[in-house]
């Protein structure tokens, strides 16, 4: 629902210069100097909309079970609603372009991008796709470039899951069974694909440099995922992949900082108190000044929860904690029209109950994307007053 001119009063608002109770106005989908009818939001925070650079929770909407695949339009709608309910106003869905096949293969990626082109016309929030490109997908180069150009993909990261697959085949073969099942293969067929991809090792550097040149020409932001060492981060930085996503060690994060590369970590890592896979803890990196952005990873609710967890533990104040999920990710992606509540920017904002930290309203581009609880009642009452006055 597109909102009429409004002024939100009574809330504690996170302005670029800090927290204050100055009212925030919305007009024509933008933060404005002058709004319209007042809506009292006492007892809440009004914060910039969350910008999520990496979320793969949408995979469970596509296939809640490996053998239960749902239509993409339904999966996108569910993802859209979930993101909005948790304050996310701009979201990159992390879709793999991988030798893994199944829902992570090139054909599935092309279908997702096609479906998103249609769904985006009625989306609640700004949904985009981040491509997670496996380093050993060399034979798909031309197709990959065509897909990126056709759909205006603006963000990519490089992964290499081959070492993990080869190790699991030796130490945890039961995990290979689940991995293969998702791709519609037997374990033997899956490992044959893994072994075939591994033989492409000598061609990988040229492939990545070719893609890097293409990304640069297209103005695409790109980085790497799960850097395990300083050497790995330096390698990717040298080919232009500046974004360091989920470094698995402090050494990799320190290398990223020395290179002035943005460092991204998972918000669930903060909420759960550590990495679910046993890697470096995001909280340790934040305390060491080695984390710039938090992302949803596999759990949208963790975005806002992580910010308030950092405040409650005394790690950061609210403006600094919220910047990890709003202003800084917007800046990393060069989105100058969002990330802060600045006059003239998109009206992307979140209303949060001060006591419970529950998100009770999300406004994306000046449109209501989510509304609940007492905040919902106040909005309904205020909008009814506007409608009555217009009559």
Residue 152 and residue 75 share a domain: yes
> ∠ CA 333-335-339 to the nearest 5 degrees?
105
- HSE, side-chain direction, 13 A CA sphere, residue 8: 32
Please tell me the distance from the alpha carbon of residue 302 to that of residue 86, in angstroms, as a whole number.
Answer: 9
Domain that holds residue 94: 50-332
Please tell me the distance from the alpha carbon of residue 18 to that of residue 258, in angstroms, as a whole number.
Answer: 29
Average pLDDT, the chain: 93
Residue 214 and residue 98 share a domain: yes
Is position 103 within any domain?
yes
Asked which of 112-126, 233-247, 277-291, 313-327 is least confident by mean pLDDT, the reply is: 277-291
Nearest CA among 238, 242, 251, 283 for reference residue 265: 283
Residue 364 and residue 324 share a domain: no
Cβ contacts of 306 within 8 Å, gap of 6 or more: 267, 268, 270, 271, 294, 321, 324, 325
Higher confidence at residue 193 or residue 107? 107
Please tell me the distance from the alpha carbon of residue 201 to that of residue 197, in angstroms, as a whole number.
Answer: 8
Residue 243 and residue 102 share a domain: yes
Max Cα-Cα span within the chain: 72
Q: How many residues are listed for the chain in this entry?
A: 391
Is position 16 within any domain?
yes
User: What pLDDT score was predicted for residue 386?
Assistant: 65
Residue 211 and residue 236 share a domain: yes
Residue 232 and residue 116 share a domain: yes
End-of-domain residue from the set 332, 358, 382: 332
Residue 54 and residue 37 share a domain: no
Q: pLDDT by residue (tens digit) across 256-268?
A: 999 999 999 999 9
Residue 40 and residue 61 share a domain: no
Residue 147 and residue 76 share a domain: yes
Q: pLDDT by residue (tens digit) across 304-353?
A: 999 999 999 999 999 999 999 999 999 999 999 999 999 999 999 999 99
User: What pLDDT score was predicted for residue 31?
Assistant: 97
Is position 19 within any domain?
yes
Torsion angle of C-alpha atoms 7, 11, 14, 15, degrees rounded to 10: 40
Is position 188 within any domain?
yes
User: What pLDDT score was predicted for residue 391?
Assistant: 53
Give the pLDDT mean for 217-240: 97
Residue 44 and residue 61 share a domain: no
CATH classification of the domain holding 285: 3.20.20.140
Residue 265, H or E segment: strand 263-266
User: What pLDDT score was predicted for residue 224?
Assistant: 98
Is position 337 within any domain?
no
Residue 136 and residue 17 share a domain: no
CATH classification of the domain holding 375: 2.30.40.10
Is position 320 within any domain?
yes
User: What pLDDT score was predicted for residue 36?
Assistant: 86
Is position 1 within any domain?
no
Please tell me the distance from the alpha carbon of residue 213 to that of residue 229, in angstroms, as a whole number.
Answer: 24
Is position 351 within any domain?
yes
Domain count, the chain: 2
- pLDDT of 185 strictly over 90: no
User: Could you please report the per-residue DSSP string of 262-323?
Assistant: -EEEEHHHHHHTS-TTS---HHHHHHTT---EEE-BT-TTHHHHHHHHHHHTTSS-HHHHHH
**For residue 262, which phi and psi values (nearest 5 degrees)?**
-60, 140
Please tell me the distance from the alpha carbon of residue 116 to that of residue 108, in angstroms, as a whole number.
Answer: 12
Residue 127 and residue 26 share a domain: no
User: What pLDDT score was predicted for residue 387?
Assistant: 60
């Amino acid at each position: 629902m597109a909102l009429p001119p409004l002024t939100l009063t009574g809330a504690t608002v996170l302005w670029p210069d800090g927290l204050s109770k100055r009212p925030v106005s919305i007009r024509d989908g933008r933060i404005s100097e002058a709004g319209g009818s007042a809506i009292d939001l006492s007892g809440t925070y009004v914060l910039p909309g969350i910008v999520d650079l990496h979320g793969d929770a949408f995979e469970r909407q596509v296939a809640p079970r490996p053998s239960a695949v749902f239509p993409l339009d339904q999966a996108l709608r569910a993802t859209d609603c979930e993101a909005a309910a948790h304050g996310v106003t701009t979201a990159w869905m992390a879709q793999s372009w991988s030798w893994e096949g199944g829902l992570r293969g090139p054909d599935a990626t092309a279908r997702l991008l096609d479906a998103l082109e249609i769904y985006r016309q009625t989306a609640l929030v700004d949904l985009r796709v981040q491509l997670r490109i496996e380093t050993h997908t060399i034979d798909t180069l031309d197709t990959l470039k065509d897909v990126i150009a056709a759909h205006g993909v603006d963000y990519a990261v490089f992964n290499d899951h081959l070492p993990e697959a080869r190790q699991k085949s030796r130490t945890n073969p039961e995990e290979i069974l689940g991995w293969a099942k998702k791709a519609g293969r037997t374990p033997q067929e899956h490992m044959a694909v893994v072994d075939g991809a591994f033989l492409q090792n000598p061609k990988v550097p040229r492939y990545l440099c070719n893609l890097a040149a293409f990304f640069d020409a297209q103005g695409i932001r790109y980085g790497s995922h799960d850097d395990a060492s300083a050497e790995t981060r330096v390698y990717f930085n040298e080919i232009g992949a500046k974004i360091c996503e989920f470094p698995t060690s402090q050494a990799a994060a320190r290398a990223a900082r020395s290179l002035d590369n943005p460092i991204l970590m998972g918000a669930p890592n903060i909420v759960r108190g550590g990495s679910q896979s046993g890697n470096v803890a995001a909280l340790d990196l934040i305390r060491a000044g080695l984390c710039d952005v938090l992302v949803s990873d596999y759990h949208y609710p963790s975005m806002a929860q992580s910010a308030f967890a950092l405040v409650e533990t005394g790690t950061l104040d609210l403006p600094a904690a919220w910047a990890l999920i709003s202003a800084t990710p917007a800046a990393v992606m060069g989105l100058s029209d969002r990330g802060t509540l600045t006059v003239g920017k998109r009206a992307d904002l979140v209303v949060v109950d001060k006591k419970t930290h529950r998100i009770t309203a999300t406004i994306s581009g000046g449109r209501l994307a989510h509304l609940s609880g007492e905040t919902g009642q106040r909005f309904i009452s205020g909008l009814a007053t506007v409608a009555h006055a217009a009559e």
